[in-house]
Structure 1
Amino acid sequence: MPGLHESIPMIILKNVTLRRGSKVLLDSTSVTLNPGEKVGLVGRNGAGKSSLFAVLNGTLHEDGGEFSIPAQWRMAQVAQDMPETEQSATDFVIEGDTTLLAAQLEVTAAEASDDGMRMAHAYMALHDAGAHDAPARAQALILGLGFSVAELDRPVNSFSGGWRMRLQLARALMCPSDLLLLDEPTNHLDLDALVWLEAWLKNYNGTIVVISHDREFLDSITNVTLHIDNAKLVRYGGNYSKFEDMRAEQLILQQAAQAKQQEKIEHLQKFINRFKAKASKAKQAQSRVKALERMEKIAPVLADAEFQFEFKEPSNLPNPMLTMSEASFGYPAMDDAPAGTPPTVIVQNVSRSVLAGQRIGILGANGQGKSTLVKTIAGALQPLSGEIITGKGLNIGYFSQQELDVLRPDDNPLDHMIRLARDTPLALRPSYKECCEQGLRNFLGTFNFSGDMVKQAVGSMSGGEKARLVLCMIVWQRPNLLLLDEPTNHLDLATREALSVALNEFEGSVMLVSHDRALLRSVCDEFWLVSRGGVKDFEGDLDDYQVYLLDEARRRREEAAAAQKK
């Protein structure tokens, strides 16, 4: 790594060129990042965001130009491997503190050397590294990221993959650092953990470079936006929304004469005006009005996105869509459980209806039962008691968090669509033209699956491409009720915006679980709160909900501290 301007504590790229194979990702581009800046790294998929991260962490070297980073800076990032260890969650996260780990090793070596002076220095360094409060610091991180007090001592390998990745994130936050690299840190988080992470990062004193497709997360923590555009690094002062504003102004100047662009903008304008007029004056709906006004402001940026789609008009709209009567939700006892083992009840005594055209955001802290509620409405689980009465002609489109795992890795998108067409009851199938192979190919093309991609094995696709395929399959079915459980986890910003526009134009009902607050704000007119075994209306807006989540997180930490003292 060249020692350019070593005396200046900043990250400098000067005329850097970066290639992956024959593709030029960065072409003789320059940028400077200053100490303490919080940088959002954005750009289309494949633009080179992850490759630039690899340059920053030293695993990839520039092909031309000069790159420097202060030699004394300590770096932290989230390990991408799935940890396999019997260590407790607490001990695993403590080991992320590399300074403490080094101090502990020095104490062991000093004690073995029988050198009194060395031992004195080693004990002092151990104290300075925070050995006395390391367990408390680690547990605060673990609890903040959504784990329960009972899980603090559980072995790491007893958790599912998503929870183990949360522990990797906690481990990275535990590491003392001057530069923190975060690549999609929100992917495995619920909204409560996301709100906590934002608060933590706001108090971080070092430099952050983050790749994220969550616009509100970027808005909350970043003050610089670095855009990879046409193999150049373009620096903007401000968060993601400020970047969009400036980019929208540029695009207006560049593309004012393009008829196609104007057509897209006019289409956006039409739907924005329509839904602004329809939105109620309730506090919750005001967030949606503001989100639509935001879309109006950045219409050129949205129109510039390479991907758009729409939900077809449902063939009918039963009203109510469904009615829950004294329904309880949870999981039956396992087949191998002792006789008489009761089911696990998570949410109970729910009596509610979902009406035609309702747009409901489902809120609730981690583990309260949001996904269980949605799974049961979708029919993937049966109610433990009570009943769910469905309206005549109800046709549910369900996006599950695990939906991507259900795709067959050896099959291609066309195989999936042919199977879907074959398995869909005749009464619910679209026209023959849309069910024949060419019709299915054409439909896949509207979701950017064209040419050879329709024959590409799903197992070789990215998470974003798999999520797009699942959305494609749902749209093809022409549902009148959409149940969406974290649909944006693998979607880039452009596809998230396309989903937001499509959901706003959708004529049916929507029930949405998401940690993407921008999506919740722009789509939902009302919120249900799943909490402490029940479901009730949440009267506030998403800002009020964030306060509620922070209060809940504080309560959990206080419970953990009290448990430690016993």
Structure 2
Amino acid sequence: MIVLRNLVLRRSAKVLLDNVSVTINPGEKVGLVGRNGAGKSTLFGLINGTLHEDGGDFSMPSQWRLGQVAQNMPETDESATDFVLGGDTRLMELREALTRAEESGDGMEIAHVHSDLYDAGELDAVPRAQSLILGLGFKTSELDSPVNSFSGGWRMRLQLARALMCPSDLLLLDEPTNHLDLDALVWLEAWLKRYQGTMIVISHDREFLDEVTNVTLHIERQQLTRYGGNYSAFETLRAQQLTLQQSTFSKQQEKIAHLQKFIDRFKAKASKAKQAQSRVKALERMEKIAPVLADAEFTFEFKEPANLPNPMLAISEASFGYGDKVILTGVSRSVMAGQRIGILGANGQGKSTLVKTIARDIPALAGTLTEGKGLNIGYFAQQELDVLRPQDTPLEHMVRLAKELGPGSGESGREQDLRNFLGTFNFTGDMVKQAVGTMSGGEKARLVLAMMVWQRPNLLLLDEPTNHLDLATREALSMALNEFEGTVLLVSHDRALLRAVCDEFWLVGRGKVSPFDGDLDDYQKYLLDEAKRLREVAKAEASAASAPAPAPTPAPQAQRAQAATQLKPLRRELEQAEKRLAVLQADKAALEDKLAGTLPRAELADVGKRLKAVNDELHTLEERWLVLSGDIEAIETAR
């Protein structure tokens, strides 16, 4: 078990943990939560050995093997499969040991290493690595592609796969979901549920934490508190504690009154009924969320839009893409005032392309996009630096924005007013003059939100807005969106945010944009069905590729005769291969039994060499058997 006893942990002069004691038992799945900067990553550093305690005691079993995701961007020409396979450190050590033994001609050592390789899973190592890669969203055709050929986000997925490949007793995961879309996220949850070791995960995705953890450690005010249960259980227990405090209770009542006022105002209007229902959902969740909001770095709200054109946007027979590359075609959709639309689809299907085109960042390749009169778009880009200038300060961003909007915006552009406004988003003191390029991801996200609020948009385009936000700030964003009276188009892998905000969904996939009739649970079922379909397509393509090209024959009778001619030698070879495989398997079993016993040194070396030869022939023959079986199946199917 992992034991912290009277532990003190500092970062520079700042005390992060002060005299804390907690125990993590073997096999527990732990969610580590707390505000940004509270010390979560520093605690990870203590556990993985890169940092040491400043006081008290820390201990964990010395024999435990550690698995964790490397934070550096991999730069290598290795294939994706070989790179992930390298995560199995035990296997790599044994392969190197075998090479050394073979070079020295030490038969006894060769025998021992072969036995160890078998125990380490050498036979199915490549399929295991490739199943991890495919599960995280890669295509079969990319398994042998060099790592350097992928973009940054996909390379970080390979780092995650490499960490999962590592045989471990303790797995440390720091924000593992940041580069994943929903289908890869669902796959990862299923994999982690099957993981047998102890796991500690830092995540700001509440639904992910609910699915994969059964213990929660909360860092707050230099203390570390253990709660039994997942994140929702922790939230409920903590809410019960905090509702006893008058300040929290007052803030909760304030928020409830605000939401109730909107509901009472619009619930009788048919045109506003859907929006009112969204606020009812928010109100139902408020009792638990209010204590979390009390700890948020800031809370905010979007100002009432100056106008609400209806429709906001009409898309007619449009095509979207980049340059000559068309990603989406034949798109005809309308965006109405007050709609709250979640945009679903796997990575690379065109979600961001759709949003960027609506945001006027890139042009449509064909068709028309007709904007409603007075449309005012607030855009949160997936990469914050798409809309921020790294060398400029938050104040310079706001001054420029105020000038662009002009006096007609109804907002004061005086520097002091801009400073005061930035202060409400926690940009205080010298921070308003700090270069944006030196800021954290969370600080950049807050600045983009501040700029959006200032513009008083009536259409919000949000492309993965939560990637760098902690749990409390995500809840603050969720509540602000529910109070927003305009229209929302949201791309996110944060299912809690999608559930809380969106009333309907669009599905982006297979080159089309279509309404998705269902909720997020239905979408997860759709993802499983789609994954099954893609596996069947890949299998069919592989079979077709391995089959010999059929010669054109005019008559079915001639085709059957030709097939019989082709099948005869293939079946004969397959039969011979199966007989030889049976002999080799028996030889291998006998040799392994001998190695398990007590043998003279000279005989042990001879057995080791023979076992290597048998394994080599088995490997070659099994590959040939697979090819023959595929060829025969393809010919029989075509008859």
Question: So what's the TM-score if we normalise by structure 2?
Answer: 0.81
From 169, 174, 177, give the equivalent of 1:186.
Answer: 177
The CA RMSD measured in Å over matched residues stands at 2.2
Instruction: Answer yes or no: is 1:430 the counterpart of 2:421.
Output: no
1:435 is paired with a residue of what secondary structure?
coil
Measure, in 2, the Cα distance between the counterparts of 1:557 and 1:284: 40
Which residue of 2 is the match for residue 403 of structure 1?
384
1:291 to 1:152, Cα distance in 2 relative to 1, 3 A: farther
Measure, in 2, the Cα distance between the counterparts of 1:174 and 1:98: 9
Measure, in 2, the Cα distance between the counterparts of 1:121 and 1:291: 63
Contact 2:204–2:471 (CA under 8 A) maintained in structure 1: yes
More helix by share: 2
Which residue of 2 is the match for residue 374 of structure 1?
355
Which residue of 2 is the match for residue 228 of structure 1?
219
Mean Cα displacement is larger for which, 282-291 or 296-305? Answer: 282-291
Contact 1:285–1:526 (CA under 8 A) maintained in structure 2: no
> What is the CA distance between 1:173 and its match in structure 2?
0.6
2:347 is paired with a residue of what secondary structure?
coil
State the AA in 2 paired with 1:448.
N
Contact 2:259–2:279 (CA under 8 A) maintained in structure 1: no
1:52 to 1:398, Cα distance in 2 relative to 1, 3 A: same
> What is the CA distance between 1:112 and its match in structure 2?
1.4
Measure, in 2, the Cα distance between the counterparts of 1:293 and 1:369: 34
Instruction: Answer yes or no: is 1:532 the counterpart of 2:510.
Output: yes
**Rg larger for:** 2
> What is the CA distance between 1:505 and its match in structure 2?
0.6
From 284, 309, 318, give the equivalent of 2:300.
Answer: 309
1:276 to 1:97, Cα distance in 2 relative to 1, 3 A: farther
State the AA in 2 paired with 1:364.
G
1:398 is paired with a residue of what secondary structure?
strand
Measure, in 2, the Cα distance between the counterparts of 1:222 and 1:371: 31
Measure, in 1, the Cα distance between the counterparts of 2:517 and 2:334: 17
Instruction: Answer yes or no: is 1:543 the counterpart of 2:483.
Output: no
The 5 A counterparts of 1:186-265 are 186-253=177-244, 255-256=245-246, 258=247, 261-265=248-252
The 5 A counterparts of 1:54-453 are 54-253=45-244, 255-256=245-246, 258=247, 261-273=248-260, 292-332=283-323, 343-424=324-405, 427=408, 429-431=409-411, 434-453=412-431
Measure, in 1, the Cα distance between the counterparts of 2:540 and 2:56: 55
> What is the CA distance between 1:304 and its match in structure 2?
3.8
Contact 2:84–2:162 (CA under 8 A) maintained in structure 1: yes
1:424 to 1:276, Cα distance in 2 relative to 1, 3 A: closer
1:298 is paired with a residue of what secondary structure?
helix
1:483 is paired with a residue of what secondary structure?
strand
State the AA in 1 paired with 2:14.
K
From 456, 462, 471, give the equivalent of 1:484.
Answer: 462
2:298 is paired with a residue of what secondary structure?
coil
> What is the CA distance between 1:65 and its match in structure 2?
1.0
> What is the CA distance between 1:349 and its match in structure 2?
1.0
> What is the CA distance between 1:436 and its match in structure 2?
1.2
1:81 is paired with a residue of what secondary structure?
coil
2:243 is paired with a residue of what secondary structure?
helix
**Alignment identity in percent?**
73
Instruction: Answer yes or no: is 1:494 the counterpart of 2:472.
Output: yes
2:426 is paired with a residue of what secondary structure?
coil
**Cα deviations across residues 464-505 of structure 1 (Å, max 9, x unaligned)?**
001111111111111100000001111111111111011001
Mean Cα displacement is larger for which, 188-197 or 276-285? Answer: 276-285
1:83 to 1:562, Cα distance in 2 relative to 1, 3 A: farther
State the AA in 1 paired with 2:251.
K
> What is the CA distance between 1:463 and its match in structure 2?
0.5
Measure, in 2, the Cα distance between the counterparts of 1:558 and 1:503: 41
> What is the CA distance between 1:105 and its match in structure 2?
0.9
> What is the CA distance between 1:276 and its match in structure 2?
7.0
> What is the CA distance between 1:274 and its match in structure 2?
5.8
State the AA in 1 paired with 2:8.
T
Mean Cα displacement is larger for which, 134-143 or 485-494? Answer: 134-143
| Unpaired stretches in structure 1, ≥5 consecutive residues | 1-9, 333-342
> What is the CA distance between 1:270 and its match in structure 2?
2.7
Contact 2:278–2:482 (CA under 8 A) maintained in structure 1: no
From 452, 461, 471, give the equivalent of 1:474.
Answer: 452
Measure, in 2, the Cα distance between the counterparts of 1:188 and 1:269: 34
Measure, in 2, the Cα distance between the counterparts of 1:549 and 1:145: 13
From 447, 451, 463, give the equivalent of 2:441.
Answer: 463
**Cα deviations across residues 152-206 of structure 1 (Å, max 9, x unaligned)?**
2221112111111111011001111111000011111111111111111111111
The 5 A counterparts of 1:44-59 are 44-59=35-50
Which residue of 2 is the match for residue 338 of structure 1?
none
| Unpaired stretches in structure 2, ≥5 consecutive residues | 547-639
**Cα deviations across residues 112-163 of structure 1 (Å, max 9, x unaligned)?**
1211121111112222222222222112111211222222222111211111
Measure, in 1, the Cα distance between the counterparts of 2:526 and 2:177: 19
Contact 2:243–2:249 (CA under 8 A) maintained in structure 1: no
Measure, in 2, the Cα distance between the counterparts of 1:275 and 1:134: 58
State the AA in 2 paired with 1:266.
Q
